[in-house]
Amino acid sequence: MKKWLKERFPLNAFNYEVPEHANTLPFFLGGITMINFVVLIISGIILAQFYNGSPETANQSIRFLMTEVPLGNLVRGFHYWSAQLAMIFLLVHLFRVFIYGSYKKPREGNWLIGVGLFVLMFGLYYTGTILKWDQEAVEALDHTLAAVEMLGPLGFYFSPEFAPQLSILGKILTLHISVLPIITVIVIVIHLYLIKMLKISDLPYRSKNQVSSKKIQPKKTFVDHFKVLFAYGLINIGVLGVLATFFPAGLGGVPVSGIESTKPPWLFMGVFSIENWTGLAGLIWTSLAAVVLLIIIPFIDRSSSPDWKQRKVFVISGLIAFVVFTGLTLNGYLTKPEQHIGMGSEMEETESTKTVVKTDGEKDSSEMVGQDDLKETSPEVQALQAALTIINDMKTLVKNENYSEALAKAKELDKTVDAVGDKIKAKDSALRQRMAEAIHELGEITPNGNNSGVINNLQIAEETIRDAIQLFQPKEVNDGSKIETPETAALKTALEQVAELKEAVTAKNVSKAIKLAKAIDKSVDEIGEKIEAKDKSLRQNLGEDIHELEEISNSNISDPKLQERLNRIEENLTTAVELFKTP
Amino acid sequence: MKLIFKLTVMLALLLLPVTPLWAHGGEETEVDAPTLARQAIAFLDGIKDSEAAESRLQEALEMDDSSLDAKKLQEAQQALKSKDVEKAKIALIYALGSDPETAPELALHPKFAGGGAGYSIIIISILFILSGLAILRSGKSNRKVGINHEKMA
């Protein structure tokens, strides 16, 4: 049986000799990283069964895994901690190879492959943190997207022009679970093959055995080496089990836009410090510089021997780099983050799209809206006017059949309008719906396809945006002044509250719905007598319907009659507004 | 000459990170009251910045938005003043009309739950560690035995 197996699985091929020092811990760091990579793949496959890669539900799907799925926390803990250990061992492995000069001739190529693996592992770690889709993830993604804009064509994968039908989270998910792992596995195979062919590097110093005597050492083979690696693997998995059980991975809250309220994971804390001082561009250039430095090391360290005595400059530089990296990391933990997004050229906007800013720190008036005429208009109107400008540009582009640029403009339009989407919705949800649908259709322009509906959608988008501008303009009343009467103001507040209540009902948020029902009652009560004076039956109908709203509960929140009642209240309130417009 | 070149490259790359190249800015659009409340929670949950949270909270209160429970907002403000961050977060969640037990705005920090599965994993993990250490130990003793054999020979 043994013979049969040996013939079919000639594992003796691995029984080649390895140097004695290959069986010491510094030469297992890469192997332990690989073991963690295997754990990451296995745990990642399990996690992927429960992950929903859409921005609306990603965070919730992880919450479900953590709270409802048996051992879900444990599997996630394994994934999280193996990622941390993989990166720690990878960094130490890289540092060991650098200090030992293991990249020297003829191993320069394998060093470059190793640098590639280092970048790939960073990519995997980074994309993994984004998939959580919590505050920290979205802030990290915002940084990347801003950086991508600065990189221009190099960042095409993340640009809206590339696969516009896929959300950015979808793109990150694809990178994390297929593109990057597949490339990493291929590169690991090449790395291992080159280690086998070029053999394990020498020590940069004379070992005790070499110094003390010329004793004949028992020969060590790769199988012996593998046994020790197996032992380290068992210890590593045991440690992972303990960490995953006692310290399960946490998850941040669902993201909220407009702030930077988190710090990145430890791995990025060093570059985060630099970003805090120099801005977003500093982050990009430092990261690029680090990779370039790693690439050129074998080509500037040309001494033939790895001996430390002959490489003092490099060894000392390596130690300084380690101290600087550690210092930057500690500094990152100790300092408060600055607001970075919006810095540099990547966020240069047209004056018309700028909105009044509220920052945590000092307010710089030079960053405020530049044009005097815009100061008199609200941020909503400014954004909507910017949207109209984009639509005009799109019309020209479509006329010239320049669909790829029109698509880019459509994305810009979507972003511009989205910034005030909630405000429009609060005033007129139907209008917001029509606007969103038309803009969404515009986002599906195909560079070379049939775009027959584009003109129509542009028309709808323009009309709805113009209507929305009216919603935010101060209303002219009969005397020509821009003052709204208390009655119309109260009724409009009530209309906004009804729109919000509709949303709460759709979301089945009973507590919010009850709160809003009370608020509507209060708003209408304030001018109840005035409405009654103009139209008694209208007041009565409104009063009855609003009174009924206070009965909202879990059992009736899905009742279609409730929706009908809300529509009726909305109609009656609109009628009441008209009553007060008429002298 | 080569040494100078090497030193220059190393120095340049080491100093690059600390060059203040770009000034800071900040871009925040005006937001509604519920978003301000969520931002306050994010500041408390994230970098524990009570000051930033308080300013968001103040703005939310000034907006007098009916979709937020003003009483709870005030409660959160009081809690922040008395440095009770946890209480402030809970009050903010209530102000948003959510339940702190299930609110997705709050971070989840799971803890060791014990139970059969938990303790089994701990025992298995310890067995893994001990097995690994035993293999390493046996490898070392084999090496010593090997050396002794060499000496005897």
Q: Is the pLDDT of residue A372 over 60?
A: no
pLDDT tens readout for residues B115-132: 888 999 999 999 999 999
How close are the terminal C-alpha atoms of chain B, in Å?
A: 54
At A227-286, the pLDDT tens digits run: 999 999 999 999 999 999 999 999 999 998 778 889 999 999 998 888 888 887 888 888
Which candidate from B20, B28, B127 shows the least CB-CB separation from A358?
Answer: B28
pLDDT, one tens digit per residue, over A127-146 is 999 999 999 999 899 888 88
> What single letter denotes the amino acid at residue A220?
K
A228 to A174, A205, A383, A570, B90: CA distances (angstroms): 35, 23, 64, 75, 51
* Inter-axis angle of helices A72-99 and A108-131, nearest 10: 150
pLDDT-based confidence at residue B114 (cuts at 50, 70, 90): confident
The SS3 of residue A18 is: strand
Q: What are the Cα distances from residue A396, in Å, to A299, A390, A401, A446?
A: 52, 10, 9, 16
Residues of A in contact with B16 (CB under 8 A): 285-286, 289
Q: Which residues of chain A are within 8 Å of residue B62 when distances are taken between CB atoms? A: none
3-state SS, chain B, equals: CHHHHHHHHHHHHHHHHHCCCCCCCCCCCCCCHHHHHHHHHHHHHCCCCHHHHHHHHHHHHHHCCCCCCHHHHHHHHHHHHCCCHHHHHHHHHHHCCCCCCCCCCCCECCCCCCHHHHHHHHHHHHHHHHHHHHHHHHHHHHHHHHHHHHHHC
Identity of the residue numbered A176: H
Q: Which residue has the higher pLDDT, A528 or B72?
A: B72
Q: What is the pLDDT of residue A241?
A: 97
pLDDT at site A463:
85
pLDDT tier at B11, thresholds 50, 70, 90 = low
Q: Does A358 touch chain B (CB under 8 A)?
A: yes
Q: How far is CA A302 from CA A116, A177, A411, B30, in A?
A: 21, 39, 50, 57
> Taking CB atoms and an 8 Å limit, are A293 and B13 in contact across chains?
yes
Least confident of A246-255, A355-364, A371-380: A355-364
Interface contact flag, A261 B49, Cβ < 8 Å: yes
For chain A, what is the mean pLDDT?
Answer: 82
pLDDT of residue B7: 59
How many other C-beta atoms are found inside a 10 Å radius of the C-beta of residue A50? 16
Compute φ and ψ for A372, nearest 5 degrees. -60, -40
pLDDT per position as a tens digit, B47-60: 889 999 999 999 99
Distance between CA atoms of A262 and B47, rounded to whole angstroms? Answer: 5
| CA gap B36, B30 in Å, rounded | 9
| CB-based contact A470:A424 (threshold 8 Å) | no
Highest-scoring range by mean pLDDT, A23-32, A454-463, A473-482, A517-526: A23-32
Q: What ipTM goes with this model?
A: 0.78
Shortest CA gap B61–chain A (Å): 16
- Residue-wise pLDDT for A253-263, tens only, equals 999 877 888 99
- % chain A with pLDDT above 90: 35
Mean per-residue pLDDT, A143-168: 80
pLDDT at res. A210: 56
A79 or A389, greater pLDDT = A79
Which residues in B lie closer than 8 A to residue A232 (C-beta atoms)? 132, 136
Between B133 and A406, the higher pLDDT residue: B133
Q: Which residues of B touch A320 (CB under 8 A)?
A: 14
The alpha carbon of residue A144 is apart from the nearest alpha carbon of chain B, in Å, by 16
Structure tokens at A171: 């793109």
Contacts of B122 in chain A (CB under 8 A): 241-242, 245-246
**Residue A98 CB-density burial (10 A; 0-12 exposed, 13-18 middle, 19+ buried):** buried
Does residue A358 register a pLDDT over 90? no
Query: Which residues lie below 8 Å from residue B87, measured CB to CB, with a gap of 6+?
Result: B75, B76, B79
Please compute the mean of the pLDDT values over residues B67-75 and round it to a whole number. Answer: 90
pLDDT value of position B20: 35
Residue A67 has pLDDT above 70, yes or no: yes
Q: How many CB atoms lie within 10 A of CB A371?
A: 11
pLDDT for B152 equals 45
Of B17, B26, B47, B41, nearest in space to B93 by CA: B41
pLDDT at A338 over 70: no
Q: B37 near A512, Cβ under 8 Å?
A: no
Out of A58-72, A441-455, B7-21, give the one with best mean pLDDT: A58-72
Lowest mean pLDDT among A126-135, A282-291, A532-541, B23-32: B23-32
Q: Do A259 and B67 touch (CB under 8 A)?
A: no
CA–CA dist B111, B122 (Å, integer): 14
Residue A89 reports pLDDT greater than 90: yes
Query: Worst-scoring range by mean pLDDT, A25-29, A273-277, A290-294?
Result: A273-277
Q: Does B66 contact A511 at a Cβ distance shorter than 8 Å? A: no
Is pLDDT of A215 > 70? no
**Cβ–Cβ < 8 Å for A332, A273:** yes
pLDDT at res. B4: 57
* CA terminus-to-terminus distance, chain A: 104
**pLDDT tens, residue by residue, A537-549:** 888 888 888 888 8
Using CB atoms, which residue from A74, A278, A336 is nearest to B19? A278
Instruction: Test A246 with B112 for CB contact under 8 angstroms.
Output: yes
**How confident is the model at residue A355, as a pLDDT?**
29
| Better-predicted residue by pLDDT, A104 or A471 | A104
